[in-house]
Amino acid sequence: MEEEKPGWFDKFEAKWASMAEDSKRRSEEADARVDKMIAESKASTEALKATLAGIDKSNGMFAEDIYYRTLWKKREFAGIHFDDVSNRFGGIKKLPDGKRLQDQFDIVMLNDVAAAIIESKYRARKEDVNTLAEKKVNNFKILFPDYKDLKIYLGLAALAFEADVVEEARKYGIGLLQQVGETVEYAADWEVKAY
């Protein structure tokens, strides 16, 4: 025989169920608002990243244009005269292991015995020096075998240099170029190394 519940208990159960359902609905609504805010935040972050990447690219193009025009006009780097100066130097090559090597070089200067690879940056960092000396030279020789026997000189041009760049450039024998007023100065009190 089932025990009969008092009348107030049915009302209490109904009220409790209603409160639980209301709490569940509010929790789901809060979750939906949080999910929407997270999605909007992610979208804003991605838009900001794209904007900053665009600014960074524009700054890099600005720096490259300054140094390209100057080097094209002077045709000299590290005391060496060059016949040709190009800011459109890049390539892709399939390697024996099946991988593809692709690289581009901001400014390349050539004559019959030497090449100069000048990387330009808006703000140069120590890693830029390392990449130039440890990666770019080898990639250049692989991608352009006609030039592999030339003496290759390296330069890093920038509108601003972080503190440790000069010492790293000295270590690798890389020449530095910087804009001073309306002119570009070659700044190295060390011998630029031929690779």
pLDDT tens-digit profile of 169-190?
Answer: 999 999 999 876 665 666 667 8
Beta carbons within 10 angstroms of residue 139's beta carbon: 19
- DSSP at 156: E
Residue 54 predicted with pLDDT over 70: no
pLDDT per position as a tens digit, 90-100: 999 999 999 99
- DSSP at 112: S
pLDDT per position as a tens digit, 127-173: 999 999 999 999 999 999 999 999 999 999 998 999 899 999 999 99
Cα–Cα dist 170/191, whole Å:
8
Alpha helices in 75-164 (DSSP H): 126-131, 137-143
Element holding 63 (H helix, E strand): helix 7-74
79 residue type, one letter:
G
Q: Are 78 and 155 in contact (CB under 8 A)?
A: yes
Per-residue pLDDT, 147: 95
Beta carbons within 10 angstroms of residue 75's beta carbon: 14
- DSSP at 95: -
56-187: CATH topology:
Trna Endonuclease; Chain: A, domain 1 (3.40.1350)
Per-residue pLDDT, 172: 95
153 residue type, one letter:
Y
167 residue type, one letter:
E
Q: Are 139 and 148 in contact (CB under 8 A)?
A: no
Provide mean pLDDT across the span 112-121.
Answer: 96
User: Is the pTM higher than 0.85?
Assistant: no
- Which runs of E-coded beta strand occur in 40-192? 76-77, 80-81, 84-86, 89-94, 100-105, 107-110, 114-124, 151-161, 175-180, 183-187
| pLDDT > 70 fraction of the chain, expressed in percent and rounded | 76
How would you classify the pairing of strands 107-110 and 84-86? antiparallel
Per-residue pLDDT, 52: 47
Cα–Cα dist 191/81, whole Å:
16
